[in-house]
Amino acid sequence: MISLLLLLFCQDGAQVFLSEKEAVGRVFDRDMKVVKRDICLPAEVSNAVDRKLGRRVEDRYRLYIGLKNNKVARYAIVTDEVTKTLTMTFIVGVSVKGKVTDVVVMVHREYVGAEVAKRRFLNQFPGKDVEDPIRRNRDMIAIVGATLSCDAAMRGTRKVLSVIQEYLTKRPENVSSLLTASKPVTEQQYVMGTLCSITLYGPRDVAADAFAEIRKWDGILSNYDPESELSRLNKSRSANVSPDFLRFLKESRSFYESSEGAFDITVGGLVSGWGFPKKNYRIPSEGELKQLLDRGLKVEGDRVTLEGAAELDPGAIGKGFALDRAVDVLRAKGITSAFLDFGSTVYALGTPPGEAGWPVAIRDPFQTEEILGTLTLTNEALSTSGDYEKYFELDGRRYCHILDPRSGRPVEGIASVSLLAKTATEADALSTSIFVRGFASAKGACMVVLTGADSPVKMTPAWRNVFHVPSASAPPVGQK
């Protein structure tokens, strides 16, 4: 009765019996959790299916997996078979034991033969498995006048049984990877002086590989570890450096140049002069500042020399740089969907399956539990430099951890800079340099919050386009 009510006749003669959603509802029990996956059979599986069926069949299918109490209970595949000249679309449900549970016709397109959709015929399928002949006049009775459509249903059911046997039953690792792909894995580690979290769709050990890469760079760039290459150079003042370290220095140098000196990794001595690393805050004397401003960095081949008061501080770029290297690792391992969060700098790889992007929220620098708005990221990085995390106050004046390398003094007048960039390195370095240079230097999608009584927010047009300011009732989202 229901199928008669839903029967729709289309102009070209196609009869739509059930939508895919309705068909899936028919094939799975109400208490099953159903996940949908588009699969593409690897060559060895598709060859095995072809051999078994004695014909070549397609290698792409829409698969549904039904879970009961978190255990796989049933599969279903939506597929097409040619009836006479047109295709018929139907779904075949199969138990984990490999027995047909249901065959339901969704769309029949030929002018004749739609009787195939009748239960009288379809009720013969349940219980059949991949070893059953499922052939007309052998173990199935076809409907007179709908022979070709009935044959198509039988052929298609044998095909589905074979695909499930070869792809899922014989290779259970495919089932688990299809299921883990539905839930992201998250790994968190304390590294580079802060908590880093990596969320990805894929195997957990890939997250561990990404962390190993970040740790490798921490081993090279840390200014807390006296054994890192950077610390050793700070001590020795001149050394032949590794290709990795040289790569980092060259990238840093390019931001120094493009920011006209507002971004400068040789500020380590100044940062210490103000007492930031050890929290022994103080205001350096004029004479001390003058001495600390006299710096230089010379790179000749792989020979690097620190001049004057230069001391390398990776703080404004190291995390972004390490994130990009971790993204390289994820891409090389075939991950297409991940979110890497280093707190002030994040990178979004691809999108979560079926979604537009990774949601993030921007904090209000004056009320850090509140958010200013949200963005959705895809294959891009977001970085925020703020005056609210590391600073000290003296006589009512706030001294923040971002210094103008040219004056040697903490920047004032800006509370935070957030910006989007194609790489985490660029986002990290530019959020710092724009903090120093002010909103006038902002390019691309950037937002600057100024300090002052009314704390005005300035946004570039590109930022305005992607920034979503929530209504008062919207709950905060994201990880930033």
What is the rounded distance in angstroms from the CA atom of residue 110 to the CA atom of residue 68? 37
Among 271, 310, 326, 448, binds ligand ADP (CB under 6 A): 271
Is 374 in contact with 359 (CB distance < 8 Å)?
A: yes
Asked if 403 touches ligand ADP (CB under 6 A), the answer is: yes
CB of 176 to Mg ion, least distance (A): 40
Q: Which secondary-structure segment (H or E) carries 100? A: strand 100-108
Among 405, 427, 437, 449, binds ligand ADP (CB under 6 A): 405
Choose between 72 and 317: whose C-beta lies nearer to Mg ion: 317
Residues in CB range of 277: below 8 A, 6 or more apart: 223, 271
Using CA atoms, how far residue 255 sits from 110, 251, 342, 379, 434, in Å, is 65, 7, 20, 21, 11
Q: Tell me the number of residues near ligand ADP by CB under 6 A.
A: 22
Site pattern 352..391 for ligand ADP (x: CB under 6 A): ---------------------------------x---xx-
Residue closer to ligand ADP (CB basis): 348 or 382: 382
- Give buried/exposed letters for 213-236 (b at 16+ CB in 10 A, else e): bbbebbebbbbeeeebbbbebbee
Burial 402-415 (b: 16+ CB within 10 A, else e): bbbbeebebbeebb
Q: Does 263 bind ligand ADP (CB under 6 A)?
A: yes
Residues in 280-319 that interact with ligand ADP by CB under 6 A: 313, 315-316
- Which residue number, 12 or 369, has a Cβ lying nearer to ligand ADP? 369
Minimum distance of ligand ADP from residue 34's CB (angstroms): 43
Which tokens belong to 289?
Answer: 């500042």
Nearer to Mg ion (CB atom), residue 175 or residue 388? 388
399 near ligand ADP, judged by CB under 6 A: no
Q: Which of residues 427-446 bind ligand ADP (CB under 6 A)?
A: 428, 431-432, 436
Pick out residues in 459-478 that bind ligand ADP (CB under 6 A): none
**Site residues (CB under 5 A) for Mg ion, limited to 392-431:** 428, 431
Which partner, Mg ion, ligand ADP, none, binds residue 403 by CB below 5 to 8 Å per kind?
Answer: ligand ADP
∠ at Cα 445 (442, 447), nearest 5°? Answer: 65
- Structure token digits, residue 18: 């059930």
* Residue 425 binds ligand ADP (CB under 6 A): no
164 contacts 75 by C-beta, under 8 angstroms: yes
Determine if 341 is a binding residue for ligand ADP (CB under 6 A): no
Buried b (16+ CB within 10 A) or exposed e, 262-292: bbbbbbbbbbbbbebeeeeeebbeeebbebb
Q: Is there binding between residue 402 and ligand ADP (CB under 6 A)?
A: yes
What x-and-dash track marks residues 292-321 binding Mg ion by CB under 5 A? ------------------------x-----
Binding of residue 158 to ligand ADP (CB under 6 A) = no
- Give the residue among 425, 413, 427, 444 at the shortest CA–CA distance from 385: 427
If the CB atoms of residues 105 and 304 are measured against ligand ADP, the closer one turns out to be 304
Of the residues 41, 77, 206, 265, which one makes contact with ligand ADP according to CB under 6 A: 265
352 binds, among ligand ADP, Mg ion, none (CB under 5 to 8 A by kind): none
Token pair belonging to 159: 């095909």
In the DSSP assignment, the letter for residue 156 is H
Q: Which chain residues interact with ligand ADP by CB under 6 A?
A: 262-265, 267, 271, 276, 313, 315-316, 344, 385, 389-390, 401-403, 405, 428, 431-432, 436
